Amino acid sequence: MPKLVQAWLDIKVFSAPGVQNMESKGDTTVKTVSLQSSPGRGYKALAYFKRYWTLYLLLLLPMTYFIIFKYIPMHYILIAFKKYSIVQSVWEMPWAANNGFEYFIKAFNNKDFLNALRNTIMLNFLDLLCGFPAPIILALLLNELPFPRYKRVTQTIAYMPHFLSWIIIAGMAKQLLAPTTGLINNALDALGLGRVEFLNDPTYWVITYIFLGIWQSVGWNTIIYLAAIAGINPELYEAAEMDGAGRFRKMWHITLPGIRPTIVTLLILSLGRILGSEFDRPYALGNHMVNNVSNVISIFVYKYGIQGLQFSLATAVGLFQSVVCVIFLFAANALAKKFGERGVW
């Protein structure tokens, strides 16, 4: 490193006399000082800032970014409570009826919305149940593979489906799963098992939907877990091997605990998306036979809010989603902390 930078980085931050030991324990900093100094509140504050001012400097840029690009546009959320007019600014728009809750009431009175709400929760929950463990299992599986080249190849191929847009995947799925001409159904028929309406029947549709979702994302989601596994100290494995631990014991006692923080973080974040609704997947895979399960909140918003030009309604629904998600995030976070894990907050 250039000398100048080196010098700057080497700035000694403690010039206070008599500081002996520094111990950081969680939230508190214990400073053992000699009796020569008498630290007052102002002195402590000064020492604190001298020590940590660079951290605040580092945070300055990201905070500015958030304020400009996230918080300033955020005021538009108020249109959820107002009668929208495209040519007026948010402050000029008149308030909606019922103390501004007109559009929320409208949404909840709409049967389609309640149906969409139910579908969203159901599909997200199933996604979580089946789709959350899958990448973990796959990461563990890949970790067991002793042939490095093979492992690399598998990793690269496993994450390819993530790059296909849902329109493409849906096209392929229809080609494969169509009741009368699909390859899979033809094979099933030849085996005498009869044809299955994978995409036409509501129950099968949900199963297919979840399965395709897992297929598309499992390879991609293992990346984080593999990176986490890479950070586990290999000496632990060697020690376990010497103790005579088998494959599964190593997994249970070393790998899983090693990636536990990652798992918990991602679980909290996933729970915080319980009411989130992606658009592409249900839209591409859905059809008119299964609309009572395939209509999710994002499609409702698209039809009523965007195509129907009811902006306030769309924003109200979005706000509702956000609030519920934050509540779930908060709860999951608190729960994790109870179990001794570090939360997201």
Partner 1 sequence: MRRTISILLVCFMLVGLLAGCGSEPASTSPSPDTSAPAESTSAGSAQDAELVDRKFTKTRSITVEVYDRGNDGGTPPDDNFYTNFIKEGMLRDHNVEVTFVPVGRWTEVEEINNLLAAGDAPDICVTYSYPTIQTYANMGGVLDMGPYLREYKDLLPNLYGLLTERNLFWNEDPETGTVWAIEALLFNNARINTFVREDWLKKLNLPEPTTLEEFENMLRAFKNNAQLLLGSEAKQMIPFSISYDIGWRADHLLAAFVPDSMTDKEAYINGFDDRHILYPGIKEGVRVLNKWYNEGLIWQDFNLYGAGDTTEDNLMKAGYVGSFIHNWDYPYRNGEEGIQANLQKLVGPDAAYIAVAPFKNDAGVYRKFLANPIDRKIFFPSTNDEPLASLLYLDWISKLENRRFLQIGEEGVTHEVMPDGAIKTLAVTGEKIMNSPNNIDYTITINGLDLGDPELNAKSLALNYAGVDARYIERAFELSKKDGRIIPQFNVGEIKAEEGMGPALASKRDNFLVQAVCCPPDQFDAVWDAGMQDYLNSGGQAIIDERTAKFAQFYEK
Partner 2 sequence: MSMIKSRKTRFGDFIVAFLCFLLILVCLLPMLNVLARSLSSSEALIKNKVWLWPVGLNFEAYKMVLSDSKYTWSLVWTAILTVVGTCLSLFMTTICAYPLTYDNLKGRRLFNTIIIFTMYFNAGTIPMYLLLKDLNMLNKPVVLVVPYCLSVFNMIIMRSFFYNIPDSLRESAELDGAGPVRILVSIYLPMSTPVIATLALFYAVGRWNGFSDALMFVKEKKYYPIQLLLYNIINSMTKIEVATQEGFSPPGLSETLKAATVMFATVPILFVYPWLQKYFITGATLGAIKE
Cβ 126 to partner 2 shortest distance, Å: 20
Quickly count: other Cβ atoms within 10 Å of residue 307's Cβ. 9
Q: Does 97 bind partner 1 (CB under 8 A)?
A: no
Segment lying near partner 1 (by CB under 8 A), choices 43-51, 218-226, 287-295, 316-324: 287-295
Alpha carbon of residue 291 to chain centroid? 27
Among 239, 269, 289, 309, binds partner 2 (CB under 8 A): 269
- Least Å from the CB of residue 332 to partner 2: 12
171 touches partner 1 (CB under 8 A): yes
The answer to whether the beta carbons of residues 210 and 132 sit under 8 Å apart is no
Tokens of 128: 């979580």
Q: Nearest-CA neighbor of 182 among 165, 168, 200?
A: 200
Stretch that binds partner 1, among 87-95, 261-269, 320-328, 333-341 (CB under 8 A): 87-95
Q: How many CB atoms lie within 10 A of CB 229?
A: 19
Closest CB 177 distance from partner 1, rounded Å: 8
Residue of the chain from 47, 121, 319, 335 that contacts partner 2 (CB under 8 A): 319
Token pair recorded at residue 331: 């709860």
Stretch that binds partner 1, among 34-42, 83-91, 122-130, 147-155 (CB under 8 A): 83-91
Q: Which long-range contacts (CB under 8 A, 24 or more apart) does 215-218 make?
A: 215/161, 216/161, 216/162, 216/164, 216/166, 216/169, 217/131, 217/135, 217/161, 217/162, 218/131, 218/134, 218/135, 218/138, 218/158
* Window 176 to 235, contacts with partner 1 (CB under 8 A): 178-181, 199-200
If the CB atoms of residues 303 and 337 are measured against partner 1, the closer one turns out to be 303
Alpha-carbon gap, residue 300 to 306, rounded angstroms: 9
Q: Which of 2, 73, 192, 340 binds partner 2 (CB under 8 A)?
A: 73
Kindly indicate which of the ranges 11-19, 234-242, 283-291, 319-327 contains the residues binding partner 1, using the contact rule CB under 8 A: 283-291
Q: Which of 205, 185, 330, 183 is nearest to 271 (CA)?
A: 330
Tokens standing for 232?
């586990």
> Which residues are bridge partners to 21 per DSSP?
32
**Contact status: 76 vs partner 2 (CB under 8 A):** yes
- Minimum distance of partner 2 from residue 197's CB (angstroms): 20
Q: What residue ranges bind partner 1 (CB under 8 A)?
A: 67, 71-72, 74-75, 78, 84-92, 111-112, 171, 174, 178-181, 199-200, 286-289, 291, 303-304, 306-310, 313
